[in-house]
Amino acid sequence: MTKSIKGILIYTAIVLVASIVYFAYAYTTYPPTPERETFLSEIGEGFGEVGLWALLFIYARSVLKLVMGKGAFAKRILPDYSPPATASIFHQLLGFLNRTHVYVGIATVAIILMHIVLMGVPMKILFFPAVLALVVWQGLFGMFLTWRYSPRELKKFSYLVHAQFFTGIMIGIFAYFGHLLIDD
């Protein structure tokens, strides 16, 4: 196992354990949030579901890139890996996913923000402000990466903080435990 994959697994375990500890604290401290069945919250639920699929779609591209040994990310994480002789359909699929990532990314950020606004998420449960900040963070540095007037240094930094799994792991784990606290 390469050092980077080991690092990601250790990082995931740390985030998971910290989240379980905070979950136990919040579960015993805050009264359960009653589910609201308003017109807006029903629409908000739909946005949440679409947002989840959009995130899975985005990270499916990252996994496909890894499997095909494409990109600096794959080189860093799997330095000695030579990709299987992949059928061109996967190359075409990856090309399509690469070309559409910016639009899918912007739509994902907008959808998740709509979900949060419409549901009226309890911000005192820290999982939620954290997810909000991380999604805005991904969107912001994605924009700096794409914007052609970004200075070189900012682009480099943006790539470092945007094109990785660390924020995605936090978004997934925090959103999961946050929802456990408010869904019955």
Q: Which residues bind ligand HEM (CB under 6 A)?
A: 55, 58, 61-62, 65, 71, 73, 98, 101-102, 105-106, 108-109, 135, 138-139, 142-143, 145-146, 162-163, 168
What's the rounded Cα separation, in Å, for the pair 179 and 48? 11
Nearest approach, Cβ of 163 to ligand HEM (angstroms)? 3
Contact 111, 50 (CB under 8 A): yes
What sign does the CA torsion over 145, 149, 150, 151 have? positive
Nearest approach, Cβ of 54 to ligand HEM (angstroms)? 8
Residue number, 26 or 173, with CB nearest to ligand HEM: 173
Nearest approach, Cβ of 12 to ligand HEM (angstroms)? 15
Residue number, 33 or 78, with CB nearest to ligand HEM: 78
The alpha carbons of the chain give a radius of gyration, in whole angstroms, of 18
Nearest approach, Cβ of 120 to ligand HEM (angstroms)? 21
Residue number, 33 or 67, with CB nearest to ligand HEM: 67
Count helices and strands (H / E) in the chain: 7, 0
Contact 14, 86 (CB under 8 A): no
Residue number, 57 or 179, with CB nearest to ligand HEM: 57
Packing angle, helices 39-67 and 166-182, rounded to 10: 150
